[in-house]
Amino acid sequence: MSGIKMAGALPPGRANGLGPIATELIDNPQGYKIVLAIVDCKETKTDTDTGEVSPTLRIRRIEAITGGDRAEAQRLMRRALERRSGSLMLPLEFETELESAFTDAEDGSR
């Protein structure tokens, strides 16, 4: 599989739903945030030597996942990872990342 690149721009206007986490991003830049995005392919590039085609992903719509929706987002993330990997057990480092991302840093709630 070829490497997927990502276009640098977020969608403009109402399609960019990251406003609710802007302060969090500033106050805790290392902390994980959860987003749900709709993407498509902006362009493809073909390596003329190998014929390998690489897509560039474009974010069409993005929303911050906060509050009570975090538990459902975590369930969906786990299910997608299990489907992709074919394994019901998560690697320890990903389990730690998930726990960190889906736990509210302020009060420890999910």
In terms of domains, do 83 and 103 share one?
A: yes
Q: Confidence band (pLDDT; 50, 70, 90) for 89?
A: low
d(CA 54, CA 70): 32
- The pLDDT of residue 55 is 97
In terms of domains, do 45 and 89 share one?
A: no
In terms of domains, do 1 and 51 share one?
A: yes
In terms of domains, do 10 and 52 share one?
A: yes
- The pLDDT of residue 48 is 95
- The pLDDT of residue 95 is 73
**Does pLDDT of 5 surpass 90?**
yes
Where is pLDDT greater, at 68 or 103?
Answer: 68
Mean pLDDT of the chain: 87
What integer is the mean pLDDT of 58-83? 91
Domain that residue 83 falls in: 67-110
In terms of domains, do 55 and 83 share one?
A: no
Q: Confidence band (pLDDT; 50, 70, 90) for 52?
A: very high
In terms of domains, do 62 and 72 share one?
A: no
In terms of domains, do 36 and 71 share one?
A: no
In terms of domains, do 109 and 99 share one?
A: yes
What is the crossing angle of helices 92-102 and 69-85, to 10°?
160
In terms of domains, do 50 and 75 share one?
A: no
